[in-house]
Amino acid sequence: MQSTHSYFNRFLSVFRPYSVRSSVVRGQTVAAYKAPIRDMQFILHEVMAAEKLFAQMPGTAEVSTDLMDAILESAAQIAEEVLAPINRSGDEEGCRFERGQVHTPTGFREAYKAFAQGGWIGLSGDVEHGGQGMPKMLAVLFEEMIMGANCSFALYPILSAGASLALARHASAELKQEYLPRLYSGEWSATMCLTEPHAGTDLGIIKSRAQPQADGSYLITGTKIFITGGEHDLTRNIVHLVLAKLPDAPPGPKGISLFLVPRDLPSGDGATGTRNGVSCGSIEHKMGIKASSTCVMNFDGARGYLVGEINKGLTYMFTMMNYERLSIGLQGIGLSESSYQTAVAYARERVQGRAATGVTNPAGPADPIIVHPDVRRMLLSVRADVEAGRALALYVASQLDIAHFHPDAGSRKRAASLVALLTPVAKAAFSDRGFESCVLAQQVLGGHGYVREWGLEQNVRDARIAQIYEGTNGIQALDLVGRKVVKDSDGMLDILVEEINDFLEQHSESAQLREFLAPLTAALGALTATTHWLKEAASANPDEIGAASAPYLRLVTLVLYAYMWARMARIALAALVGGVSETSFYDAKLKTGRFFIARVLPGYAALAAEIRGGSTTLMALSVDQF
């Protein structure tokens, strides 16, 4: 790990300033995106006690509070001043496809250059090959910021980071040395190529083929679709991680191998040389994320290099996919935060009607709409979800850091089990609830939310894709219920339940915290009882897994969010009792948590009842009756 001083020099660098911070539309201020640094610091330092955790692990021991805060502040600067100002213009201009080339919107190349020069692509990358070596907890907060500021842009570097992780874990030393430094620096970028026209979720039936060559390389032939960043003008080269099968590969997913296929073959000095047999056939015209190129990629005898061992490609690719799934969940949180900021600013200024309890704006013709209970319901629903989701994202990231850095094998194993359990929950929960939050924030603005000027209709469009790509949320729910709960032999859910029960027991004597602990206890009890019922029902009828999957994931989410709120409330209560100067911040945290407990968490009972409704009514209609 580099010294703390060198990190400060890296992350306190000055990015290109932009003057656009907010705008005025029809007499009202449209808030510019502002990174929620204070809340991030609260969760990072106070709730998750990152300093204490990092001190236990040699690979993170140098990551101090000052360093973490410096990184967050610099990340906020690039999100607010470089990425947010080109978000709407990027959506309106979109990507252009001309004669096989993809052109990104105006300003994206300059922004990418500033982004890469800051070292952000390699933030959590392997230090040995030029990465910054920062913990995942910091990377998660950074990714939320850039997703909230400009999620189309964010997809390009996040894919490079995920591909770099897969290469760092599974590629040969030669491939690492050749490719990782250029990916971390942003000189080159990367993609993952899985989906084919006939094969989405069922990757076992892919048709892409890899023909072995005498020199140890392979010629890759096939077509991949929906490839984010498959072609663009941001970097000198694009490196594709491609799933394909050898001629004698066994059928199904066990016959899949992973190959590194550069668009341009590197020359001996590391520069790009001749063009490989890789081409972009077209780009998709999409509902949202229009500044992110989504490509049809053709591989026509393209030279590629095996990553890891033959027929283990799907396992290797899941290293990248699981990284991306958490990142795509953060897309939901980031866009929710952005939408909340706009909706609050609008609700404070927009005047309509009078408060039910009396006039609050006697100098004006009406009161600001933030006085109305239903507007507050929408705003608080978004805020409570964003803050709980952010805390859960940090919790998952902490387990990733433990699984990677911790010196104790037992701790690493326990953390890895929690990561396996929580990854599908995080991806689906953050993106489902993120989309719902963007819609709620849009509703606060009424008709103004439906037009372009305030940006919320873009957020709604951009958020929608997160529920679909990187494994649809239905697949995430099936993964959770089928593999991680019903068919789990390692007790992954038991580890989580035990941790929550330990927290409840540890704080059982706290009278102040009881308003959070009692509802959490009830919700956790419903989850464990429902899980027991589901396992028994699924043993008799396998359809019960699919029938229960979506509501079960939502049930788990509510329990996890309640757990996060109980942990945040404990810290907030202690701060207020201790006479902290930021009284308003901690008081608002408690009030938001109370809203979640009283108005959102009770939904767990309905979800438990829905699950116990079983699969019979779902499967009753014959196919021709639909």
Amino acid letter, 587? D
Query: Would you say 431 and 466 are in contact if contact means Cβ atoms under 8 Å apart?
Result: yes
pLDDT tens for 464-520 read: 999 999 999 999 999 999 999 999 988 999 999 999 999 999 999 999 999 999 999
Considering the domain architecture, whether residues 151 and 289 belong to the same structural domain is answered as no
Q: What pLDDT is attached to residue 271?
A: 64
pLDDT tens for 335-352 read: 999 999 999 999 999 999
Among residues 470, 499, 505, 515, which one is catalytic? Answer: 470
Domain that holds residue 208: 189-316
In a domain, 561, yes or no: yes
In a domain, 234, yes or no: yes
Q: What pLDDT is attached to residue 202?
A: 83
Considering the domain architecture, whether residues 152 and 202 belong to the same structural domain is answered as no
In a domain, 595, yes or no: yes
Domain end (from 182, 203, 232): 182
In a domain, 362, yes or no: no
Considering the domain architecture, whether residues 59 and 177 belong to the same structural domain is answered as yes
Residue 204 belongs to a domain with what CATH number? 2.40.110.20
Considering the domain architecture, whether residues 162 and 237 belong to the same structural domain is answered as no
Residue 93 belongs to a domain with what CATH number? 1.10.540.10
In a domain, 75, yes or no: yes
pLDDT under 70 in the chain at which residues? 1-27, 29, 268-272
Considering the domain architecture, whether residues 152 and 226 belong to the same structural domain is answered as no
Considering the domain architecture, whether residues 214 and 293 belong to the same structural domain is answered as yes
Q: What are the CA-CA distances from residue 141 to residues 72, 97, 207, 333 (Å)?
A: 8, 33, 38, 10
Retrieve residue 502's tokens: 């330990």
Domain end (from 284, 316, 348): 316
Considering the domain architecture, whether residues 507 and 599 belong to the same structural domain is answered as yes
144 as an active site residue: the answer is: no
Considering the domain architecture, whether residues 173 and 199 belong to the same structural domain is answered as no
Collapsing DSSP to helix, strand or coil, 351 comes out as: strand
Considering the domain architecture, whether residues 492 and 535 belong to the same structural domain is answered as yes
**Phi, psi angle pair for 199, to nearest 5°:** -135, 110
Query: Would you say 123 and 68 are in contact if contact means Cβ atoms under 8 Å apart?
Result: no
Considering the domain architecture, whether residues 63 and 168 belong to the same structural domain is answered as yes
In a domain, 227, yes or no: yes
In a domain, 454, yes or no: no
Cα angle 368, 374, 375 (rounded to 5 degrees) comes to 40
Report how many domains make up the chain: 3
Considering the domain architecture, whether residues 176 and 194 belong to the same structural domain is answered as no
- pTM here is 0.94
Distance of alpha carbon 455 from alpha carbon 151, whole angstroms: 13
Domain end (from 316, 351, 376): 316
In a domain, 209, yes or no: yes
Q: What pLDDT is attached to residue 11?
A: 39
Number of other residues whose CB lies within 10 A of the CB of residue 511 = 6
Query: Would you say 183 and 163 are in contact if contact means Cβ atoms under 8 Å apart?
Result: yes
Query: Would you say 48 and 137 are in contact if contact means Cβ atoms under 8 Å apart?
Result: yes
Distance of alpha carbon 478 from alpha carbon 548, whole angstroms: 9
Considering the domain architecture, whether residues 170 and 194 belong to the same structural domain is answered as no
